[in-house]
Amino acid sequence: MFVLLVGLLFLYASHGARILGVFLAPVPSHYILGNTLLKGLAEKGHDVTMISPFADKNPPKNGSYTNIVLTGFAEEHERMVKEINVFEMEKKGILALLPLLAKNIEMCERTFNHTDVQKLIHSGDTFDVVIVEMFMNDAHNVLASHFNAPLVLFSAVGVNTWINQLVGNPQPLAYVPDVFLDFSSKMSFFQRLLNTVAYVAEQGMNCLYMFPQQDKLVKKYFPNGPSLYDVIYNASILLLNSHPSIHQPIPRVPSMIEVGGLHVKPPKPLPKDLQELLDGAEEGVVYFSLGSYLKSAFLAEEKRQVFVKAFSKLKETVLWKWEEDSLPGQPPNVHLAKWLPQQDILAHPNVKLFITHGGFLSTTETIYHGVPALAIPIIGDQKLNAREIVNQGIGLTMNFQEITEEALTDNINELLTNPEYVKNAKSRSNIFRDRLVSPLDTAIYWVEYVIRHGGAPHLRVAGLDVPWYQYFLLDVIVVVSVVTLVVLFVLYQSIKKISSICGKERKQKVN
Domain ranges in the chain?
A: 15-262+438-460, 272-433, 467-493
How, if at all, do strands 47-52 and 18-22 pair?
Answer: parallel
Regarding predicted confidence, which is higher, 185 or 4? 185
Flag whether pLDDT at 164 surpasses 70.
yes
Q: What backbone torsions phi and psi does residue 288 show, to the nearest 5 degrees?
A: -125, 120
The stretch 469-492 carries a mean pLDDT of: 92
**What's the confidence (pLDDT) of residue 510?**
61
Helix, strand, coil proportions of the chain in percent (round to 5)? 55, 10, 35
Nearest CA to 401 among 87, 97, 93, 95?
Answer: 87
Which pLDDT score is estimated for 14? Answer: 46
The lowest-confidence range among 284-288, 357-361, 426-430, 439-443 is 357-361
Q: Taking residues 223-242, report their average pLDDT.
A: 92
pLDDT on residue 354 = 97
Give the pLDDT score at 423: 96
| Alpha helices in 370-511, H assignment, sequence order | 382-391, 405-417, 419-433, 439-453, 468-471, 474-510
Q: What is the mean pLDDT of the chain?
A: 88
Residue 257 in this model has a pLDDT that exceeds 90: yes
Q: Which CATH number fits domain 15-262+438-460: 1.10.3720.10, 1.10.1740.10, 3.40.190.290, 3.40.50.2000?
A: 3.40.50.2000
At 89, is the pLDDT very low, low, confident or very high (cuts 50, 70, 90)?
low
The C-alpha angle 244, 268, 288, rounded to 5 degrees, equals: 65
Q: Average pLDDT of 259-274?
A: 92
What pLDDT, on the 0 to 100 scale, is given for residue 378? 86
The band of 406, judged by pLDDT with boundaries at 50, 70 and 90, is: very high
CA pair distance 389, 412, nearest whole angstrom? 15
The amino acid sitting at 404 is T
Q: Which residues pair with 256 in a beta bridge?
A: 238
Which positions ≥6 away from 274 have C-beta within 8 Å?
A: 337, 340, 341, 345
Q: Is the pLDDT of residue 80 over 80?
A: no
Q: In this predicted model, what pLDDT tens digit does every residue of 321-334 receive, in sequence order?
A: 988 888 888 999 99
More confident call, 10 vs 111: 111
The pLDDT assigned to 13 comes to 45
Q: What pLDDT score was predicted for residue 407?
A: 94
Q: Assess contact for 297 and 32: CB atoms under 8 A.
A: no
Q: Which of the residue ranges 187-191, 285-289, 305-309, 380-384 would you say has the lowest mean pLDDT?
A: 380-384
Burial of 263 from C-beta contacts in 10 A (0-12 / 13-18 / 19+): buried
160 closest CA partner among 175, 140, 177: 177
Give the confidence band of 99 by pLDDT, cuts at 50, 70, 90.
low
Cβ-based neighbour number of residue 81 at 10 Å: 19
Is the distance from CB of 128 to CB of 35 less than 8 angstroms?
A: no
The answer to whether 180 touches 380, Cβ cutoff 8 Å, is yes
The pLDDT score that the predictor gives to residue 272 is 93
Comparing 25 with 95, which gets the higher pLDDT?
25
Confidence of residue 371 (pLDDT cuts 50, 70, 90): very high
pLDDT at 31 over 50: yes
Rounded CA separation 452/128 (Å): 9
Q: What's the predicted TM-score (pTM) here?
A: 0.88
Question: Residue 53: pLDDT above 50?
Answer: yes
Whole-number pLDDT of residue 240: 95
Bridge-based pairing state of the strands 151-155 and 129-133: parallel
Q: Which residues contact 504 (CB under 8 A, 6 or more apart)?
A: none
Dist CA 298 CA 79 (whole Å): 12
Q: What average pLDDT does this structure show over 450-468?
A: 92
Residue 393: count of CB within 10 angstroms of its CB: 15
| Mean predicted confidence (pLDDT) in 360-366 | 93
Handedness of CA 236, 440, 135, 250 (dihedral sign): positive
Class in CATH terms, 272-433: alpha beta
- Give the mean model confidence (pLDDT) for residues 106-126: 92
**Confidence band for 188, pLDDT divided at 50, 70 and 90:** very high
Q: Which of 134-138, 213-217, 379-383, 436-440 has the least mean pLDDT?
A: 379-383
pLDDT at 9: 44
Q: Taking residues 372-401, report their average pLDDT.
A: 90
Q: Bigger pLDDT: 184 or 145?
A: 145
pLDDT band at 72 (very low <50, low <70, confident <90, very high): confident
DSSP 174: T
Q: Find the length of the chain.
A: 511
Type and span of the H or E element at 72: none
Predicted pLDDT at 506? 67
